[in-house]
């Protein structure tokens, strides 16, 4: 299968930033470009605030989205969302369209989390931030107008890895599991897969980007230090975790990692479905507002969340 023609044409028309230099420089250029993008999914409630970070760490910026006011629709389900970007780039702003679309399509509150990035904040900072944000939302969902018994986690790429890790960390730390984990093309720590070797032409995750992320994040920690939370597929025990939908893209080097993780979840007794989009690239969810096939590929994700929430 080759890359969807409509998605490929759209990506070819976008100026691509080089994966070179320091991540802070890349972030600044990325944010400047995102500031010019129009809001495609207006919502009646979008609120920026901070929530407590892990012990000894700064507070975490979050952006809260809702399709209705708390007065009009109290007790909505909640999705805690973590953005992608290889743990080095990305932000609430870069993934604002994705968070808005989840809120609109699912009919839920979305809490998008600004976690700390590498190389300034190496592993496990992002993971501890993600777990702290999830725990806070579980405790304060009602204050946000949400239902504390219907809280899910979701993320794309690095954010999907964080979502999966939050489930592990919550289990190990005695925090209630989310009702669901939606994982869009996660990195799960499996190396040497066929897709890593074959899918070297993905426009959103080319080899130079993988090497750049590795230089600024993964090389900063000792070998094996990422297991289990930073390499969830290598964890010894995956039992007792939230049901999952793992969404993978056929042109993505991470394709096989997602499938392996779903298989490991099922082997541990965790309900885990795989949704495979053979002609999509890594990052396709971010382009659903502009590319109809990418939008169609997100429909199953929103349906799975609605089902998990009993909607």
In the residue annotation, 289 being an active-site residue is answered as no
Q: For 70-119, what is each residue's pLDDT tens digit?
A: 777 789 999 999 999 999 999 999 999 999 999 999 999 999 999 999 99
Contacts of 215 (CB under 8 A, 6+ apart): none
> Catalytic residue among 209, 282, 286, 301, which?
282
Q: For 131-143, what is each residue's pLDDT tens digit?
A: 999 999 999 999 9
Among residues 93, 91, 31, 40, which one has the least CA distance to residue 295?
A: 40
Q: Kindly state the average pLDDT of the residues 31-42.
A: 81
Instruction: Assess contact for 165 and 179: CB atoms under 8 A.
Output: no
Q: How far apart are CA 35 and CA 55, in angstroms?
A: 32
Q: What is the pLDDT of residue 271?
A: 98
Q: For 189-230, what is each residue's pLDDT tens digit?
A: 999 999 999 999 999 999 999 999 989 988 888 878 889 999
Q: How far apart are CA 158 and CA 154, in angstroms?
A: 11
Instruction: Assess contact for 162 and 130: CB atoms under 8 A.
Output: yes
62 or 32, which is more confident: 62
- HEC assignment per residue over 82-114: ECCCCCCCCCCCCCHHHHHHHHHHHHCEEEEEC
The SS3 of residue 270 is: coil
CATH number at residue 187: 3.40.50.1820
> Catalytic residue among 91, 94, 112, 157, which?
157
Longest dimension (CA), the chain: 52
> Catalytic residue among 96, 129, 202, 252, which?
252
Range of the domain at 196: 5-308
Q: How far apart are CA 116 and CA 123, in angstroms?
A: 10
**Domains held by the chain: number:** 1
Q: How far apart are CA 277 and CA 245, in angstroms?
A: 13
Q: What is the pLDDT of residue 143?
A: 94
Taking CA atoms, 227 is separated from 113, 124, 146, 165, 173, in Å, by 23, 11, 33, 10, 16
Cα dihedral 123, 129, 135, 137 sign: negative
Please report which confidence band the pLDDT of residue 161 belongs to, taking 50, 70 and 90 as the band edges. Answer: very high
Q: What is the pLDDT of residue 15?
A: 85
In the residue annotation, 83 being an active-site residue is answered as no
In this predicted structure, the answer to whether residue 286 has a pLDDT above a threshold of 80 is yes
End-to-end CA distance of the chain: 35
Place of tokens 């590929």: 297
In the residue annotation, 282 being an active-site residue is answered as yes
In this predicted structure, the answer to whether residue 34 has a pLDDT above a threshold of 70 is yes
Q: What is the pLDDT of residue 68?
A: 85
CA 140 to chain centroid, in Å, comes to: 21
For the CA atoms of the chain, what is the radius of gyration?
Answer: 18
Q: Kindly state the average pLDDT of the residues 264-282.
A: 98
Share the mean pLDDT of the chain.
95
Cis peptide before 113 (omega within 30 of 0): no
Q: For 174-188, what is each residue's pLDDT tens digit?
A: 999 999 999 999 999
Q: What is the pLDDT of residue 1?
A: 64
Q: Kindly state the average pLDDT of the residues 250-264.
A: 98
Q: What is the pLDDT of residue 38?
A: 82
Q: What is the pLDDT of residue 35?
A: 67
């Amino acid at each position: 299968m080759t890359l969807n023609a409509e998605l490929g044409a759209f990506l070819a028309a976008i100026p691509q930033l080089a994966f070179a230099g320091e991540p802070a420089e890349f972030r600044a250029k990325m944010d400047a470009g995102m500031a010019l993008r129009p809001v495609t999914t207006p919502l009646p409630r979008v609120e920026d605030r901070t929530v407590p970070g892990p012990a000894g760490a700064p507070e975490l910026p979050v952006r809260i989205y809702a399709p209705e006011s708390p007065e009009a629709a109290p007790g909505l389900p909640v999705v805690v969302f973590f953005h992608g970007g290889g743990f080095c780039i990305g932000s609430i702003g870069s993934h604002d369209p994705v968070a808005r679309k989840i809120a609109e399509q699912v009919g839920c509150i979305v809490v998008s989390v600004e976690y700390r990035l590498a190389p300034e904040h190496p592993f496990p900072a992002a993971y501890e931030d993600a777990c702290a944000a999830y725990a806070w939302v579980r405790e304060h969902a009602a204050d946000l107008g949400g239902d504390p018994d219907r809280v899910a986690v979701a993320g794309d790429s690095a954010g999907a890895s964080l979502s999966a890790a939050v489930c592990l960390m919550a289990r190990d730390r005695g925090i209630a599991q989310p009702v669901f984990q939606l994982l869009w093309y996660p990195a799960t720590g499996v190396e040497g897969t066929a897709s890593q070797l074959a899918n070297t032409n993905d426009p959103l995750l080319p080899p130079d980007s993988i090497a750049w992320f590795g230089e600024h994040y993964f090389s900063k920690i000792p070998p094996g230090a990422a297991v289990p939370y930073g390499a969830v597929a290598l964890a010894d025990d995956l039992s007792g975790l939230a049901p999952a939908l793992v969404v993978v893209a056929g042109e993505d080097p991470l394709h096989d990692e997602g499938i392996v993780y779903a298989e490991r979840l099922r082997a541990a007794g965790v309900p885990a479905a795989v949704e495979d989009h053979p002609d999509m690239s890594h990052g396709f969810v971010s382009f659903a507002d502009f590319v109809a096939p990418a939008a169609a590929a997100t429909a199953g994700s929103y349906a799975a969340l609605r089902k998990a929430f009993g909607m």
